[in-house]
Structures are given as structure tokens and as C-alpha cells.
Amino acid sequence: MGGMEIVMTNAVQAGTVHFAAGDGAQLEAYLAVPVADAPRGGVVLIHHLPGYDEATREFARTFAVHGYNAVVPNLYSREGGPGISYEDAAAAVRADGGVPDERLIGDVGSAAAYLRSLANSNGKVGVIGYCSGGRQALLAACALDLQAAVNNYGAFVMSDSPASTGLHATSLESRLPGLSCPLLGNFGGDDSYPSPEENARLAEALDKLGKTYDFKTYEGAGHAFFNVNRVSYRAEAAMDAWDRIFEFYKANLS
């Protein structure tokens, strides 16, 4: 008896790739793409401070299922390498105060160029990040030619990071005039970094600059409400924010 023929739709391919950064370093990255070859937009996912983890790679596969080419550059590639765990690489970066802003811009720019080089790219690229990656998504959108940016609870946008955090993150206020694309923001009402007050200051600054943005604050949600592996996870807020993200990308990356 013959086996059943498998017919799949919405199939995706995913795995590790490498490409050169602007400074010549080889970046490890996780790529997830739809198998269908119709032209499509790309998404650069910026992982959070704990590093290049499985949760972020799962997000990449989610975007691929929804029809986007998605790539997660390992921002700690230079600190990593054979025999070095992602956790150890993250610890080394954190000990140095985090990824320097100019290096981040270069690496996201290289990831965006990689997405645009794919045969099925429509030339449009968005960026998204969570926590420290939320700030970095906005940073990248202020320095690069992108078509959409999503900041999920990124702190230290309108103020410098306190010394107690060990990070060397500076305010992005002076960079906001360079914002190249619409910005979506998803925040927790119970979050302290960023606080609702900081998000309000960001909205006010964007209004003065005439930038396009759409912010939503979820009451009862704190920091990291997207993270299903933490007690901070808030299903209702996360599900609504996912809907907002997919609608936003459909409008700007299709």
C-alpha cells in the first residue's frame, strides 16, 4: 500500500544563514521564509537583551507563516563563536553596557540588505524589537531607509539609561527627525521602563515632527507581556498586539 501524498500550503523554510556586516564581521542569523516565490516584504527581528534565543526565532517562523521573509541577526555574533553559548555571549555584551548604537545600525542595515537581496523580495523591509530591541528598532528606523518599525516596550528612548542598569543607552530624542517610516508602539500600562510618561513624551515629540505613529498601552500588562515563558505574559494584550502588528505590516510592507 502506497503512502499518502503530502500536499502543503503556507509552507516555510527556516535555518541558520551567515552574511557580512559593514565592518567585515560575519553575522550569524536565523532566516525563515515562505516556500512560495511570490514577491513579499521582509522583517528584521531584533532580539532582546538576553540574546539570540529560541523565542525570537519562533517569532521569525510566525512572520514567515504570515507571508514575510524574516531574519533574526545575532547581534552578539562577534562575542560568540564555536563553543560559546548564546547566554555567555549575552553576558559579555551586557558587561560592556550593551551593543553600541552605531554597531546596531550597521548590523540591522546589513540584515535589511540581505532581505532585499532575496529573489522573492519586493524591496520593502520593516523592523521589530522587544525590550532593548524595541528601542533598537526605533534607532534603526531613524538611521536607515525602512518602510515600517515596531517598538514593543523599548525603554530609554526619551531618557538615558540609569547607571544602575549597567547599560550605556542614550536618549534617541535627537535622532527622531530622521525617522524614515511609520512607527507602531505596543506598551504595558504597568511598565516602568518605559513608563507611560516616557511614551507620552515620545508621542509628543513625534507629533511636533509630523511623524506617523500608532501607540497603544495595555492596562494590566507590564514589561515583557509578549513573552510566553515568563509570568509577565498577558495573553489578551499579546494577541491584540499581534493583530496590530500584522495589520501594520500588511499596510506598509505589501
The residues that bridge with 218 in the sheet, in sequence order, are: 188
3-state helix, strand, coil in the chain (%, to 5): 35, 25, 40
In a domain, 236, yes or no: yes
CATH of the domain at 51: 3.40.50.1820
38, amino acid identity: A
In a domain, 2, yes or no: no
In a domain, 3, yes or no: no
As a whole number of angstroms, the distance between CA 11 and CA 106 comes to: 31
CA 27 to chain centre: 16
Range of the domain at 153: 12-253
Which residues have CB under 8 Å from 72's CB, separation 6+?
29, 30, 44, 45, 46, 47, 52, 56, 57, 59, 60
As a whole number of angstroms, the distance between CA 113 and CA 42 comes to: 10
In a domain, 4, yes or no: no
In a domain, 150, yes or no: yes
Number of domains into which the chain is organized: 1
pLDDT along the chain (254 residues), means of 10: 68 95 94 93 95 91 97 94 85 93 98 97 97 96 98 96 93 98 96 95 98 96 86 92 98 97
In a domain, 82, yes or no: yes
In a domain, 6, yes or no: no
Q: Which pTM value belongs to this model?
A: 0.94
